[in-house]
C-alpha cells in the first residue's frame, strides 16, 4: 500500500473516531441537560434536548456512511476493521441514548406541571450515576482503556439496583397516595429510561474491549435481581 493510500486510510479512521467522539459528547450533553430539566422543572431546557437530538441523528448517518465507505474502499484488517465495525454499532447505541434522553426531557415537561415529591431527587441521583458511567466509558473509548471499560461494565449493577429500589419505593408511595399516581408514573418512566441507558453504556464497554483485545468481554457481568412486587402487594 502506497504512503498516500496509507495516509488517506488514516485520515478516514481519524474522521470516524472524531464523529464518534462528537456523538459521545452530544449524548453526554443531552443526558446532562435532561437531568437538569427534571431537577429544575425547566420546560425550556427540556425543549433544548428535544431539538438537539436531531443533530445526533444526523451524526449517526454520517458515521454509517464513513464506515461503509472505509470497508468498501480500504478493506481494513485486524484492529482497524474492529474499530470500523465497532463505530457502526456505537453510532446506533449513542443515537439510542439520545432518544432516551429526549424521552426523559419530554417526561420532565409533565413534571413541571405537577407537585414535587421527595423521590424526584432519587431519580436525579440515579441519573447522575448513569451519567458518570457514560462519561467513563466514553473516556475508555477515546484512550482505549480496557481496565476502565471493564470497570464500567461491572458497575452497571449499581444502576440496576438503583432502579429496583426506586421502583419499589415509587409503587409503594403511589399505593399509599393515589393522587400522585400520574406523577409517580412519569418518574418510573424516567427511571426505566436511565436503566436502559446504563445497558447501552455496558454495550459500549464491550465494544471497547473487543476493539483492543479482539475477543468478546464475556457474559458473566454482574446483574441486579429482576424487579419484584413481593413485599409491596403482600
Residue 229 covered by a domain: no
Q: State the CATH number of the domain containing residue 53.
A: 1.20.58.220
* pLDDT surpassing 90 at residue 209: yes
46-85 as b/e: b if 16+ CB within 10 A: bebbbebbeebeebbeebeebbeebeeebebeeebebbbb
Residue 225 covered by a domain: no
Task: State the Cα–Cα distance between residues 140 and 205, nearest whole angstrom.
Answer: 8
Residue 231 covered by a domain: no
Range of the domain at 61: 3-213
Instruction: Tell me the torsion sign for CA atoms 18, 22, 27, 32.
Output: positive
Residue 81 covered by a domain: yes
Q: What's the pLDDT tens digit per position in 114-125?
A: 666 666 788 999
Residue 221 covered by a domain: no
Out of 14-18, 109-113, 171-175, 225-229, least confident range = 225-229
Residue 223 covered by a domain: no
Task: State the Cα–Cα distance between residues 118 and 210, nearest whole angstrom.
Answer: 41
* pLDDT surpassing 50 at residue 205: yes
Task: State the Cα–Cα distance between residues 102 and 34, nearest whole angstrom.
Answer: 7
Per-residue model confidence (pLDDT) at position 3: 53
**Residue 215 φ/ψ region, left for φ over 0, alpha for ψ in the -120 to 50 degree band, beta for the rest:** beta
Q: In 3D, which of 26, 32, 74 has the Cα closest to residue 53? A: 26
Mean model confidence pLDDT for the chain: 89
Residue 173 covered by a domain: yes
Give the total number of structural domains in the chain: 1
203-218 as b/e: b if 16+ CB within 10 A: bbbbbbbbbbeeeebe
* pLDDT surpassing 80 at residue 200: yes
Q: Which whole number is the average pLDDT over 159-173?
A: 92
Residue 108 covered by a domain: yes
Q: What's the pLDDT tens digit per position in 25-62?
A: 999 999 999 999 998 888 899 999 999 999 999 999 99
Task: State the Cα–Cα distance between residues 101 and 107, nearest whole angstrom.
Answer: 10
Amino acid at each position: 500500500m502506497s504512503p498516500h493510500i496509507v495516509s488517506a486510510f488514516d485520515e478516514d479512521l481519524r474522521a470516524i473516531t472524531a464523529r464518534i467522539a462528537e456523538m459521545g459528547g452530544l449524548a453526554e450533553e443531552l443526558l446532562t441537560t435532561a437531568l437538569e430539566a427534571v431537577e429544575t422543572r425547566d420546560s425550556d431546557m427540556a425543549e433544548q434536548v428535544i431539538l438537539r437530538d436531531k443533530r445526533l441523528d444526523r451524526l449517526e448517518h454520517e458515521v454509517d456512511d464513513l464506515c461503509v465507505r472505509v470497508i468498501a474502499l480500504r478493506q481494513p484488517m485486524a484492529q482497524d476493521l474492529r474499530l470500523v465495525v465497532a463505530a457502526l454499532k456505537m453510532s446506533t447505541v449513542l443515537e439510542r441514548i439520545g432518544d432516551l434522553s429526549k424521552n426523559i426531557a419530554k417526561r420532565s415537561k409533565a413534571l413541571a406541571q405537577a407537585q414535587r415529591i421527595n423521590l424526584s431527587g432519587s431519580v436525579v441521583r440515579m441519573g447522575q450515576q448513569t451519567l458518570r458511567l457514560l462519561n467513563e466509558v466514553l473516556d475508555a473509548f477515546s484512550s482505549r482503556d480496557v481496565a476502565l471499560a471493564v470497570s464500567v461494565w461491572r458497575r452497571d449493577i449499581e444502576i440496576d439496583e438503583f432502579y429496583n429500589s426506586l421502583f419499589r419505593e415509587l409503587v409503594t408511595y403511589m399505593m399509599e397516595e393515589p393522587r400522585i399516581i400520574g406523577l409517580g408514573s412519569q418518574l418510573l418512566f424516567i427511571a426505566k429510561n436511565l436503566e436502559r441507558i446504563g445497558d447501552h453504556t455496558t454495550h459500549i464497554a464491550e465494544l471497547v474491549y473487543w476493539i483492543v483485545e479482539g475477543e468478546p468481554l464475556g457474559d458473566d457481568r454482574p446483574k441486579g435481581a429482576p424487579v419484584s412486587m413481593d413485599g409491596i402487594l403482600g
